[in-house]
Structure 1
Amino acid sequence: MPRSLPTAVSFAALSLATGLLSAPPAQAGTGTGTSPDGTAPSPPTAVAPYLYNGWGSPPNPTTVTNATGVTYFTLAFVLSNGYCNPQWDGSRALTGGVDQQTINTVRANGGDVVPSFGGWSGNKLESSCSSASELAAAYQRVITAFGLKAIDIDLEADAYDSPTVQQRTVDALKAVKNNNPGLKVYVTIGTGQSGPDTSLIKRAASSGLTVDAWTIMPFNFGGVGQNMGNLSTQAAEGLKDALKNAYGYSDDQTYRLMGISSMNGITDQGETVTVADFRTMLAYAQQHHLARLTFWSANRDRPCTGGPADSCSGVSQSDWDYTRVFAAYTG
């Protein structure tokens, strides 16, 4: 799914949750149910909007948390600086900089981050590392640096299109899962209106890789003038069929290993994803207990006041309207 950095925006949270013939997986996320005082439900960890420090006047996560209750964020993007060397955007130091500060702030607010590897633009680790073992080691550097509980592999563009890179990524994730018991691995990929390309899903299944959520990005796929909420759930049904065919899951198992990662407002290709469309996706996620419900991006969840499209949605809204909708998700 396209996501440009300064221009096109997309993220593939390829949460590859696969487990051949396994028992039904646990319900999506944690932190559901009621708050300590027994009143309002708290959003699950499944709701983690993308936050990008590279541009778009990044909001303070404390501001978003205080306004919406969302405490988890998907932090984009970890890329390669030279040969198989993970850095934020391939240029900012892995630790000690603004991204470290964001992680510290999110955790101080009671939440956590899900670093996202890849995206549409830039030099991907998946392509620059020459072997699965080197790629696994690069992932591990980030996992260890921050004591991570979850990662997002956003496989897009040339990285997705290469069978060699696909297999390298699958093999690296198998090693990472084996070396980090309990680590959640999300895989995010693009999609068409009827569902995603199935090459990576089939490759993962045949290799015995299991992940915690396959997430599609239902936008930039020819939806101009159409109801993007309905198109998004239609694409999700295509994902369900692809996972069932590859892994032999039941419907209920499959839904609980799926995710939707939308784009709020005007997309790169001129589609309009409205707050009402987010409500449609929320209802679908609630009905089927999806493992992940997120979007690109928190940076854009504000009305435009003359700023660039990377810092606002392009539609009439109040600050954080889209985040508030997904914050109602209870898993």
Structure 2
Amino acid sequence: MRKRILAAAGALALAALAPFATPATARTEAPVQAAAAPMAVAPYLYEGWGSPPNPAEVMNATGVRWFTLAFVLSNGTCNPQWDGQRALTGGVDGSAISTIRGGGGDVVPSFGGYSGNKLEQSCTSASALAGAYQKVINAFSFKAIDIDIEADAYSNATVQQRTVDALKTIRANNPSIKIYVTIGTGQSGPDTSLINRAASSGFAADAWTIMPFDFGGAGQNMGTLTTKAAEGLKNALKSAYGYSDDTAYRHSGISSMNGVTDQSETVTVADFTTILNYANSHHLARLTFWSVNRDRPCGSGGADSCSGVSQSNWDYTKVFAKYAG
């Protein structure tokens, strides 16, 4: 699963790739005009570290208009804050939202992630958790939310049920909002415990999004492995909800990782094209990646601010910006 803060050894290993990376250069060609660049295409942007890029620059260069802003966490109680320490409004996160909206885009806040204190655990009831989610929604009138449930939060059945019940409340109180649930996966598809629990409880996400990396793919074709895992997700949704193939695909999503992953897998720009073609063929509900902070060559800095592969700025974002929905 996604390790948002790499171990120092991993960061140093990627930094060692810097001499082989293409230096960042100014882009002189006209900005890419995305075919759709819908809400579905919202690469993760993290203001906590990784030399956060100016989202306006990314928008102008790629045509992407939406970003998934990470991460809303607990401050130790059932109180949502960016990274569990920065106020919801104002600051770097609020500034990023203003910039994105000023450029005609919008933001999906992401709750959870791999590290930190999770609201799903700090809030001791479904109603309290729903209240925390709602506080964030209300702060910016968000149109979509992402629940990125990983690690100990995912593995706890009580926390799973609390999350499902809270999301049912959010759905009832915000009928037009899009709810994305992001989970880890194996090469053949995800663990189905949360999906089955949600289906049994009467909750359906707009997209169940898998993270097809950090799953033993080193030395293998990550584009092919990603589509294999996505087929497993589709089959899990068919089984849990009784969906047709087409409906299951349209409730599926992929959240990849660009470049060298935490487990030394390499997701190339060509792999992103494979993933894009798969998404276009099946009309997936979500197509994103961790992260736009890393969508740059390694001239300097660690793995949180570059991909570890030879590329130009925003190459990965430009591929997914072509998604037609």
Normalised to the residue count of structure 1, the TM-score between the two structures is 0.90
The offset of 1:42, in angstroms, is 3.2
Q: Secondary structure at the match of 1:83?
A: coil
Deviations 1:97-136 (A, max 9, x none): 1100101110011110000000000000000100000000
Shift of 1:82: 1.9
Q: How many residues align?
A: 302
AA at the equivalent of 1:296: W
- Any unmatched runs of 5+ in structure 2? 11-32
Following superposition, the deviation at residue 5 of structure 1 comes to: 2.9
For the 8 Å contact 1:2–1:190, the answer to whether it is kept is yes
- d(CA) in 1 for partners of 2:155, 2:194: 9
* 2:45 corresponds to which of 44, 51, 62: 51
1:166-315 to 2 correspondences below 5 Å: 166-315=160-309
Q: 2:72 — aligned with what? A: 78
Residue identity in the other structure for 2:98: N
CA RMSD of aligned residues (A): 1.3
Pairwise CA distance, 1:181: 1.4
Return the offset for 1:4.
Answer: 2.1
Which runs of structure 1 show a deviation greater than 4 angstroms over 4 or more consecutive aligned residues? 6-9
Percentage of identical aligned residues: 75
Q: 1:40 and 1:4 mapped to 2: Cα distance?
A: 28
Cα–Cα, structure 1 residues 211 and 326, in superposed 2: closer, same or farther, change >3 Å?
same
**Counterpart of 2:170 in 1: which secondary structure?**
helix
Q: Match for 1:130: what amino acid?
A: T
Counterpart CA distance in 1 for 2:7 and 2:283 is 33
Q: Deviations over 1:54-79 (max 9, x none)?
A: 00000000000010000100000000
Q: Distance in 2 between matches of 1:107 and 1:277?
A: 30
1:320-331 correspondence runs (5 A)? 320-331=314-325
> Residue in 1 aligned with 2:81?
87
Deviation at 1:211, TM superposition (A): 1.4
Report the Cα offset of residue 306 of structure 1: 2.4
Identify which of 122, 126, 132 aligns with 2:120: 126
SS of equivalent to 2:114: coil
How far apart, CA to CA, are the structure 1 residues paired with 2:311 and 2:42? 20
In structure 1, list runs of 5 or more residues that go unmatched: 10-38
Q: Which residue of 2 aligns with 1:41?
A: 35
Report SS of the residue matched to 1:178.
helix
* Cα distance in 2 between the residues matched to 1:42 and 1:198: 31
Q: What's the CA shift for 1:314?
A: 0.1
Counterpart check, 1:65 vs 2:35? no
